[in-house]
Chains A and B, each alone.
Chain A
Amino acid sequence: MDVLIIALATAATIGRILVLIALSVLSGWGLAYLAVKSRKFENAYVPFVNVLESIPVIAFLPIVLLVFIQGLGGFWGVEVAADFLVFDAVSWNVWIGAYQAFKTVPEHLLDVTENYDFSFGRKMWKLYIPHSIPRVTSNLFSSFADAFFYITVSEVFTVGVTTYQTFGIGTLITNFVKQSNFIGVYYSLVFIAIGVAIVTGALNILSRRSVAKYGVDSTFEIKRHTHWSGRHFRAVDVFRLRTRYLSRYARKLTHPAHRGGFEGEHGPPTPIIHIMKVALKSLTFCMGIVLIIYLAYSSMLIAFAVPQKEWQAFLTSTPYLLYSMGADYLRVIVVTLAALALALTLGYLLATHHKASMTLAPIVQAVSAFPAPTYFPLVFIATYPLFSATLPPAYSTEIYVFTLGFLSCFYYVFFDFWIGVQAIPTQFWEVMRNYELSWGTKMRRIIIPGTFPYLVTGISSTINSAWAGIEIGEFWPNIDGTHSLEVRDGMMKYIGLNMSTGNVANAAWVSLLFAIVVAIYGIVFTRNLMDLARKKYVVEEGVYAA
C-alpha cells in the first residue's frame, strides 16, 4: 500500500481546492462590486450565478472538453479542466456570499466613503472587503465541503471512450474502486478525514477571528498575534509598505487633494476621475451585455442541437417534463426545509455554546466534507435489507434520494446561519436576555430577521446545490453491483437516463426548460430577497452610536 502516494494525493487535492477557493474569493469581490454598482450587471449576474450553481458539475464537461482538453492539450489541459470543475464546485456560493455582503453594507458606512471621496481601491480595502469577510468566511466551509463532495467527478472524468485524470485523491479513490481495492479506499478516506480536520480546524479559527474583528460588536474577543514571531511582523510590514505605495498611487490618481488640478474637497471631478468613472460604468455595462449574450448563445446552442424533426416530440413531452421538474422541486423543498430545520436548531446551539461548537462543529464539517458518492454504496448495502423489508420500494428510493440531496447541500444554510448568529451584536443578546425572551420568540423576532441576509444566501445555495445530490440519487445504476437506484418520476433521472443512452438532445431540452426556471427564480427569489435584506435587515444598523 502506497501510503505516501495517498498522503501526497490528499495534499495535492487540498492544495488545489485552497488555491481555487482563493481565486473564487478574489473574483467574487470584483464581481460583487460590479453587481452592487450596476443594476444592469446585477440583473444578469444573479440569474447567471444561480443557473451555474444549479447545473451539476457533469454538465460542464462539453465546455471543458472543448476549451481546455482540446485547446490546451496534454497535462495542462487536463489539469486546468479539473481545476475548472473544482472551481465550479467552490465558487458560486462564495460569489453569492460576497454579493450579499456587498449588497448589505450599512448605509452610514457607505456615506463615510462617499463623503471622503474614497477611490475604488480604498472603498474595497477599507469597507467592502472587511465587511464581507465574515460572510465570505462562512462560505469557505461550504466551498471546501462541496469541492470534496464532487472530487471524484472533478479530478477524473470520462468523455466518450476517453478517461481523463489528474493527480489527486479523487482520482486515486476512483481507481481503487475500479480495482476493488477497498483497503485503498479506506486509507484514502482516513487521509481525507485528517486533511478535512486540519483545514476545517483552521477555518474554524479563521471564522471566529473574522467575526470578532469584522463583525459589528460581536460577542467574540478580538485575538491579537502578540506571540507571533518577528518574521511575521516583518512580512506584514512589507505588505503594508506595498499597499501603502499602491494606496498613494491610487490617491494620486483619484483623490481631489492629490490631483494636479486641486479644486477643493468637493470640487468638480477632474478629467482623469471622469474618465475612470465612465470606464467603470462602461465596463460593468459591457460585462452585463457579455453575460446576457453568453446566456442567450448557450441557450441557442442547446436549442439548435436538437434536430428540427424532434421538436414536435419535445413539445409533446414538455408537460411530463414540467411535471417531473415539479416533482424534483418538491424534493428540493423537502431537503431545504430539513437543512433549514437543522440550521435553526443545531446551528443555533453551536453558535451560542462554545464547548458544543468545539466538539460538534468538526463532526458536522467532516460529514459535509466527506465525498458522499464514495461511501454511499456502503450505506446502501447496510440499509437496503431493512428498507426493502419494511417499506414499499418507491418510499425507500425517496429516502435515499433525500439523503443524498441533503448531504450535498445542508451545510450551506447551516454554516451561513451559524456565522450569522455569531455576528449578532452583543447589545442584541443582552436585550434578549434582559427581557427573558423564549427560544421561539428570539428566533422569530430577532435571530431570523438578524441573520436574514445570511439565510437568503444559505437557502439560495442550498436550493441550487440540492440538485446535484438529487441527480446522483435519482438514477444510480448498479449502486451495489446488483441493485439500481431509480425514482419513478424526476427531471434529474430523465437527464441522467438520456445522457447514459446517448440521447443528448432530450437532456438538452429539459436542461433548457430548467435553466429558464432557475433564471426566473434567481431574479424573483435571490435578488428581491437581497433587496429586502438591504432595506430592512442589516443587523449592523441596529446598533447606533450617534
Chain B
Amino acid sequence: MQTEPGDPPGSGNSGESPSGPLAIEARGLVKRFDGTLAVDGVDLSVPEGSIYGILGPNGAGKTTTLRMLLGIIDPDEGFRRVLGHERPHDVARLIGYLPEERGLYPSMKAYEAIAFMGALRGLQLKLGRERGRELLETHGLGHAAERQIRQLSKGMAQTVQLLGTLVHKPQLVVLDEPFSGLDALNQGKLERMIRGLAEEGTTVIFSTHVIAHAERLCERIAIIAGGRVPFAGRVDTARDRIPPQVRLETRAQQGPWRGALPADARREGSFWHFSLPESGIEPLLRALIEGEAGILSLSIERAGLHDAFIAIAGEAAARALGTEAGEGEQA
C-alpha cells in the first residue's frame, strides 16, 4: 500500500487533524523486521512549534516510528514528510535527535562531544566548541567542559548528549525516551528545557512510557500500541473519550433516589462512582434532593490521561505501561 500526503488518517486514529503548518506528517507507515510487523500503518501530524508526545509501552513501535521519521530506517510502506521534505536527511541540519540508547565517545571531552554532534549537523567545529562551552556553563556543567565523557556521571553524560542534540539550534527536536535514567530533579530540568524550546518556536516530539510527562508537557499525543496508533490528537480530546467521573457521598443509604443513579454506578465505601450521564447532572441532583438523599459531597472530575489511555489502548497496554513506569521510577 502506498499512502500519499493528504490521505485520510488510518481508521483507528480518530483524533482531529491540526489545522496549522506541520513539522511532521506521516501516513500509513509500515515497518517489518524479518517478517515481523513492528509498525502497522502509523499516521502522525505534528504541528510546528508544538510539544508532541508519543505514548506507549516498550515494544509498541515508538522507536521504530521515530527512526523512520528521521530517515535512520526507511518504511516498507507509507509516506513521511519532515519539515516539508520527504527525505529526512535532506533537512538533517534542522533536526536534533536524542536516541533512547545514549551514546558518546568515552575519550572525548564534554565540549568536544557537543561540538562533534553539531558538526554532524553542519555546525562549524570552532563554533560548536564555543557553543558547547556556553551550553555547559548555562546548564551548570561548566566545570565538566574539559572532562572526558568516561569521567562524567551517567546523568551528566546524558545532559551533555542532550546539549549536543541542541547545539546547532534545530527547528525540530526528536527525543526518544528522554526521561529514562534521569532522577526526579533532572526530569524536572528536562521538562523546563522542553517547554523553553517550544516557547522559542522549536517543535519537540518525544516518546515516553510515563503518562505523567506527556500529560504535563504535551498539547498533542499519539498513543501507540502493538505497532498501531489508535489515537492521535489533542490531549483534551483523548480525555474527552471518557465522560467526566462523578463522585457522590450521601447520608441516606436507601431511598427512591437510588433509581435515578446511572446503571454503571458502583459503591465504594460511602461513595458512589459513576460516569456523568449524557443528560447532565441537573436531573440527578433534582432526584437526590427530592428523594432526601442528603448530599454530603459531590464532585465531577474530568478523566485523566491514564484513564483515556486505558479506554483507547486497552487494559493490557495500560498494564504494560504502568509496569514499565513503575520500573522506571524504581530505577
Asked whether A and B interact, the reply is no
B interface residues with partner A (beta carbon < 8 Å): none
